Amino acid sequence: MALTPADWHDRFTRQARWTHDLRRYLYERAGMRSARRILDVGCGTGVLAAEMPRYTQASIHGLDINPAHLSLASAHAPQTVLACGDAHHLPYARASFDLSLCHFLLLWVADPTGVVREMARVTRPGGAVLALAEPDYGGRIDYPEALEPLGSWQQASLRSQGADPLIGRKLAGIFAGAGLQAVETGVLGGQWSGPPSNTDWESEWAVITDDLNQMSAVAFEPAADVDLQKLKELDASAWSRGERVLYLPTFYAWARLPD
Ligand SMILES: C[S@@+](CC[C@H](N)C(=O)[O-])C[C@H]1O[C@@H](n2cnc3c(N)ncnc32)[C@H](O)[C@@H]1O
């Protein structure tokens, strides 16, 4: 069964939990506290916009191309000024914002350099552009080895959906290509404290299953003897033995515009 917008909201909420500490650090570095207008590009269901009032009194603007996501965003982040639009052509005047940011957006867009250039255009001189998190599935680590196919399937699935699974490693080059000199680029480390909750684990598997279902026959040619249910069981038993490792390198970059 296909995932609903509410399922995607759960997924986005989980992703935002992984990047929470990094986000706080980057908000501090980029001066979110003193910002007056902030733009969240590809704001999805409003997960980041909903928490921003904790860090700033700025007016928060969110843009997304998907009306179903925006309708959830208006419920989760009612203080946010929302717009439906394409990140490649932001419907805002030059220098309208103090900060513009995105989180798990650039892997999904056709021209990530063009999007970052647009974010820079709508940000004022002295303001900041932040790509808070972009994954790199090519660097994913799955252990035990029997679970490694999950990473390559997810890469193939993302490609078949038009996403770039290797966007993370390209992020510094994307900022440079957009004419921005990044103040800082890096990759989020991994810390684990026990297995995920059952709800999180089931919901992660719902995403894996949905990803695989979406793959075209051409893109997805699993070995005949591979059984998703079996992998799910292996995953559960690896967690219960305390030996499961799942690491997805997640890159970030931010730049300050010249005054
Ligand atoms: C993985 S979600 C991340 C949502 C949100 N940033 C978060 O972290 O919770 C990616 C979002 O980007 C949006 N998106 C994809 N392509 C877009 C485009 N060209 N312009 C604007 N939004 C886009 C999708 O609709 C989706 O809501």
Task: Decide if pLDDT at 109 tops 90.
Answer: yes
CA of 137 to the centre of ligand 1 (A): 18
Residue nearest to atom 14 of ligand 1 (CA): 42
Q: Alpha-carbon distance 148 to 132, whole Å? A: 27
Report the nearest-CA residue for atom 10 of ligand 1: 105
* Ligand 1 proximal residues by C-beta, below 6 Å: 12, 15-16, 42-44, 47-48, 64-66, 69, 86-88, 103-105, 108-109
- Is 49:101 a contact under the CB 8 Å cutoff? no
Mean pLDDT of the region 203-224: 67
In the chain, the percentage of residues whose pLDDT exceeds 70 is: 95
Question: How are beta strands 182-188 and 250-256 bridged, if at all?
Answer: antiparallel
* pLDDT for position 226: 58
Reading the block at residue 55, the tokens are 């860090």
Share of the chain above pLDDT 90, in %: 75
Q: What is the pLDDT of residues 77-99, one digit of tens each?
A: 999 999 999 999 999 999 999 99
Least confident range from 10-14, 66-70, 115-119, 227-231: namely 227-231
- What average pLDDT does the segment 194-213 reach? 86
CB 186 within 8 A of CB 252: yes
Of how many residues is the chain composed? 259
Residue 4 contacts by C-beta under 8 Å, 6 or more apart in sequence?
none
Q: Whose CA is nearest to atom 9 of ligand 1?
A: 12
Centre of ligand 1 to C-alpha 176, Å, is 22
CA–centroid distance, residue 174 to ligand 1 (Å): 18
Q: Which of 66, 82, 248 to mutate to test the pocket of ligand 1 (most atoms within 8 A of CB)?
A: 66
Q: Does residue 72 carry a pLDDT above 90? A: yes
pLDDT at 247 over 90: yes
How far does the centroid of ligand 1 lie from the alpha carbon of residue 42, in Å? 4
Whether the pLDDT of residue 222 is over 60: the answer is: no
Written as one string, the DSSP assignment of the chain is -PPPHHHHHHHHHHHHHHTHHHHHHHHHHHTGGG-SEEEEET-TTSHHHHHGGGT--SEEEEEES-HHHHHHHHHH-TTSEEEE--TTS-SS-TT-EEEEEESS-GGGSS-HHHHHHHHHHTEEEEEEEEEEEEE-GGG-EEESGGGTHHHHHHHHHHHHTT--TTHHHHHHHHHHHTT--EEEEEEE-----SPPPHHHHHHHHHHHHHHHHHS-TTT----TT--HHHHHHHHHHHHHHT--EEE--EEEEEEEPP-
pLDDT of residue 1: 63
pLDDT exceeds 80 at position 2 = no
What's the pLDDT score for residue 229?
Answer: 87
Average pLDDT score, the chain: 92
Label residue 218 by pLDDT band (50, 70, 90). Answer: very low
Residue 140 scores a pLDDT above 90: yes
pLDDT per residue as tens digits for the range 41-67: 999 999 999 999 999 999 999 999 999
Average pLDDT over residues 136-160: 92
Question: Cα–Cα distances in Å, from 111 out to 39, 121, 134?
Answer: 19, 15, 14
